[in-house]
């Protein structure tokens, strides 16, 4: 039987990780920690399964950490086999407006989790992002795990910094940890500040959809459920453990083409939201906007990545439309 500590379990990806863990027959206990900041949702909070214990505090607040995670382990009543660290500030636009919050949360928060892992001797998966690599031109080869870190936004820099802290604990203290770097995620329950929910909400509310620049930027996409499965597969790897795993998606697409696809998918199923005129409004480009992300791996493909869903927006669109209609 296995015990897990999941940070950020009320966030978008974290909620899928918790739900996938609950499908495993040997999951005995999940300690879930979330500060319930932007990106977290009560909708993602699991309270009806006795295996899940929820705690709410800020991992980056050292005083909170010492109070809640002291040597006496006030609420941890057994050894933790696996720590899956997802808690992070994650929106590029907000990191441009207020970078220090991201540095504090993503770097200090990760360091506090690492101290716990060092003491517990748990197996850890630190969930990072493809954005730590910087960006690609249209003709560049995809990022591999060996690519240097060249972050171009405060968010990406904070995640790259946390990755380096994890690597330092691996090599200095010998902790058993792996870092995952994934492409863009989609699916139900994503925070409305992200691209796909923003597009859907704009259509429903009869507003123009804001698209940065010309919408030529290219992103790779994976469903959050498949990402969660990949994280768990990596956590359970016991032989030939890799320090860094890239998690690639099922489709790469320009932002403008994705936006048009969402419009078509939504209007076809919900024609009441169709209207005359343009749906899209091109706005001033984001500062330092990365052009393209694309991932490949030097490792054998994860089975969860090989088996991932084909990119499909129908259920995601349906989820948000029903939510906005409620």
Catalytic residues: 130-131, 155
Rg of the chain in Å (alpha carbons): 20
Any bridge partners for residue 221, and if so which? Answer: 184, 251
Count the helix, strand and coil residues of the chain and give each as a percent rounded to the nearest 5.
Answer: 40, 20, 40
Q: Angle at the Cα of 73 (from 68 to 75), degrees rounded to 5?
A: 70
- Sign for the CA dihedral angle at 268, 273, 276, 278 comes to negative
Residue written as tokens 């977290």?
A: 40
- What's 136's DSSP letter? B
Residues 6+ apart with CB under 8 A from 30: 3, 4, 5, 6, 9, 18, 21, 22, 51, 52, 53
| Dihedral sign of CA atoms 183, 189, 192, 197 in order | positive
CA distance 45 to 10: 6
């Amino acid at each position: 039987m296995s015990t897990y500590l999941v940070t950020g379990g009320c966030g978008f990806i974290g909620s899928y990780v918790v739900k996938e863990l609950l499908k495993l027959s040997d999951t005995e206990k999940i300690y879930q920690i979330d500060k319930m900041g932007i990106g977290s949702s009560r909708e993602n909070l699991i309270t009806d399964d006795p295996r899940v214990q929820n705690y709410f505090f800020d991992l980056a607040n050292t005083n909170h950490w010492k109070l809640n995670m002291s040597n006496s382990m006030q609420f941890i009543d057994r050894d933790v086999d696996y720590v899956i660290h997802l808690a992070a500030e994650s929106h590029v636009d907000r990191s441009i407006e207020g970078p220090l919050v991201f540095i504090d949360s993503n770097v200090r928060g990760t360091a506090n989790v690492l101290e716990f892992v060092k003491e517990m001797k748990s197996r850890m998966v630190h969930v990072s992002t493809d954005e730590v690599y910087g960006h690609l031109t249209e003709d560049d080869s995809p990022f591999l795990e060996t690519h240097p870190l060249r972050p171009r936004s405060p968010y990406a820099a904070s995640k790259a910094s946390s990755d380096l802290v994890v690597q330092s604990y691996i090599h200095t203290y010998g902790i058993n940890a792996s870092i995952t770097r994934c492409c863009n995620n989609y699916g139900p329950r994503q925070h409305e500040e992200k691209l796909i929910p923003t597009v859907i909400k704009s259509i429903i509310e009869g507003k123009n959809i804001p698209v940065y620049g010309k919408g030529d930027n290219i992103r790779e996409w994976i469903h959050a459920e498949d990402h969660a499965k990949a994280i768990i597969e990596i956590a359970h790897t016991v032989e030939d453990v890799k320090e860094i795993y890239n998690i690639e998606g099922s489709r790469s697409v320009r932002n403008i083409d994705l936006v048009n696809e969402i419009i078509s998918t939504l209007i076809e199923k919900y024609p009441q939201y169709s209207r005359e005129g343009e749906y899209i409004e091109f706005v001033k480009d984001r500062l330092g906007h990365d052009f393209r992300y694309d991932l490949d791996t030097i490792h054998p493909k994860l089975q969860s990545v090989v088996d991932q869903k084909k990119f499909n927006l129908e259920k995601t669109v349906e989820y948000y439309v029903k939510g906005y209609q409620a």
